[in-house]
A = this chain, B = another copy of it.
Amino acid sequence: MTDAEQRIIDAAVSLFGERGYHGTSIRAISEAARVSVGAIYHHYPSKEDVFIAIVRREFDRRRRVIEELRTQGLSPETLVREIARIHFAMLEDHRDSVGLLGQALPAGMVSLRGKLLALEREFAGYLAELLEEGIRVGDVRSCHTWTAAYAILGMTKVVTARALGEDAVAQELRVRGPDELAEFAWRALCAVKEERS
Contacts and interface: CB of A to CB of B under 8 A. Distances in A.
Contact of A158 (B107, B153, B165, B176): B153
What range describes how many residues of A lie at the interface?
35 or more
A38 interface: no
Contacts of A24: 108
A93 interface: no
Interface in A61-112: 99, 102-110
Nearest to A154: B158
Interface of A: 18-24, 99, 102-110, 113, 117, 120-121, 124, 141, 143-144, 146-148, 150-159, 161-162, 165, 169, 172-173, 176-177, 180-181, 183-185, 187-189, 192, 194-195
Given A150-B173, A159-B150, A105 B103 contact: yes
A18 B113 CA distance: 11
Contacts of A23: 106-110
B108 A102 contact: no
